[in-house]
Amino acid sequence: MFRNLPKFEFLSPKSIKEAISILAKYGPEAKLIAGGTDLLSEMRWGEWSPQYVIALSQIPGLDEIQFDKTTGLRMGAACTIGEIERSKVIGAHYPLLAQAASVLGSTEIRNRATVGGNLCTAAPSADMPPSLLVLNAKAVIATQEGEKVVALEDFFTGPKKTILNHDEMLVRLEIPPVEPTSAGEYIKFGRRNAMEIAMIGVAALITLKGRNNTCKEAKLALATAAPTPIRSKEAEKVLTGKKLTREIIDLAADTASKEASPRTSWRTTEEYRRDLIRALTRRALQKALDKLKS
């Protein structure tokens, strides 16, 4: 039942260390809040009733975007989706991320929602994970013992579940540089053109070598195709080292469809999702390839 927000105490730590110590003290009684666009709705629906809500807004540095051409991108977990969408740095060097950000929610949601929040809510349909996965992102997690770095692939453990312990906090994403002969595409599919939860989402990143369409490396990741966001590694293998003909792309799409484990939900069926994965993977790959050709 949808109702009022439950009562809680609002805490505003001024540093990551302070935040972690509060988390350690209160354990499952505490929830972190960044943009709040998922959390507050979930709380109204009765999913969470934390006694302590810990804001991240007063912690400096959590929303910084830094780029270095050798080390790549460092993106604070509290960067808003809107900031990612509009960032010149990201637009120049990681346009796939900007594209994924641009289809999340609405203008108003994007101005508050954060990439960290999107990852930590960990819905299988989340919009940011697929593009972050194909970009080989790493999650930097603050713990009582210091920071630890985890491949984003290992971050999600189940529907709305991550590896984070109660006293741990996602603080940053680190994304390596992308080779210049690369292009990506994120396709989000739903019944509506906007304000939609992905029925299927596909992120593709292709890196070519040489003048012809030979694929040096291909990465594919899917939303809502499994209990967590996933890479389609078998499909990627189909593409690596091959000339990207129509047939190879079709085969990769087909492989991605077979490899995934979508489910039948109230929204749609497993069969339809597999069809979507096939069609949209093909399109995403083709679009990425077209970007490289032009």
Partner 1 sequence: MVKQTIDLKVNGQAYEVQTQPWRTLAEVLRDQLNLTGTKISCAEGHCGACTVLVNGKAVNSCLMLIAEAQGKEILTIEGLSKGGELHPIQDAFVTHGAVQCGFCTPGIIMGTQAFLLENPDPSEAEIKKALAGHLCRCTGYVQIIEAVKAAADTMKSSRSKRR
Partner 2 sequence: MKEQETLNVIGKPYPKKDARIKVTGECRFAGDIAVPGMLHGKMLRSPHAHARILNIDTKKAEALKGVRAVITGKDFPGILYGNFAHTRDYLPLAIDRVRYVGEEVAAVAAEDEDTAWEALDLIDVSYEPLPAVFDPEEAMQEGAPLLYDNKPNNISSKSEWEFGDLEKGLKASSLIRQDVFHTQPLKHGMLETHTCIGFWDADGKVTLEACKQSPYVAWRQLAMGLGLPPHKVRVKQTFIGAGNSGGKQEALPMDFAAVMLSSRTGRPVRIVHSMEEVLIMGHMRHAYKIDLKIGVNKDGFIQAMDCYAIADGGAHSSIGQLSIYLMGAWLMMTYKIPNVRYRGCRVFTNKSFCGALRGHCVPQARFAFEGLLDTIADELGMDHFEIRKRNAITPGYEAPNGFKITTCGLREALDKAEEVSGWRQKKGKLPKYRGIGVGASGFISGSNIMGMSACSAMLKVQEDGSVALQSGATDVGQGCDTVLPMIVAEVLGIEPGDVSFALVDSDLTPIDGGTWSSRVTFYAGNAVKIAALDARKQIADVAAEILEAQPEDLVFRKKRIYVKGNPDQGTELDKVIRHCQNRKGMTIMGRGYYNAPCGHLDFAKGYGNFTAAYSFYAQVCEVEVDPETGQVQQ
Q: Which is nearer to partner 2, 7 or 69 (CB)?
A: 7
The region of 35-43, 124-132, 208-216, 223-231 touching partner 1 under the rule CB under 8 A is 35-43
**Collapsed DSSP state (helix, strand, coil) of residue 54:** strand
Nearest-angstrom CA–CA distance, 65 and 32: 21
**Collapsed DSSP state (helix, strand, coil) of residue 72:** strand
Angle between helices 270-293 and 246-259 (to 10 degrees): 140
Tally Cβ neighbours within 10 Å of residue 255: 22
- Asked if 4 is part of the footprint of partner 2 (rule: CB under 8 A), the reply reads yes
The region of 135-143, 154-162, 190-198, 231-239 touching partner 1 under the rule CB under 8 A is 190-198
Nearest-angstrom CA–CA distance, 15 and 59: 5
Q: Which is nearer to partner 1, 78 or 244 (CB)?
A: 78
Nearest-angstrom CA–CA distance, 236 and 221: 9
Nearest-angstrom CA–CA distance, 284 and 223: 13
Site string for partner 1, 43-72 (x = CB under 8 A): -x--------x-x-x---------------
Q: Which is nearer to partner 1, 44 or 263 (CB)?
A: 44
- Asked if 10 is part of the footprint of partner 2 (rule: CB under 8 A), the reply reads no
Nearest-angstrom CA–CA distance, 198 and 213: 30
Rule CB under 8 A: choose which of 13, 16, 31, 37 binds partner 1: 37
- Nearest distance, CB of residue 45 and partner 2, angstroms: 9
- Asked if 36 is part of the footprint of partner 1 (rule: CB under 8 A), the reply reads yes
**135-150 as b/e, with b when 16 or more CB fall inside 10 Å?**
bbbbbbbbeeeeeeee
Site string for partner 2, 181-200 (x = CB under 8 A): --------x-x---------
Cα 184 off chain centre by: 14
**Collapsed DSSP state (helix, strand, coil) of residue 78:** coil
* 97 phi and psi angles, rounded to 5 deg: -65, -40
- Nearest distance, CB of residue 8 and partner 1, angstroms: 6
Site string for partner 2, 243-282 (x = CB under 8 A): -----------------------------x--xx-xxx--
Rule CB under 8 A: choose which of 68, 191, 193, 210 binds partner 1: 193
Q: Give contact residues for partner 1 (rule: CB under 8 A).
A: 2, 5-10, 12, 33, 35-37, 40-41, 44, 53, 55, 57, 82, 105-109, 111-112, 193-195
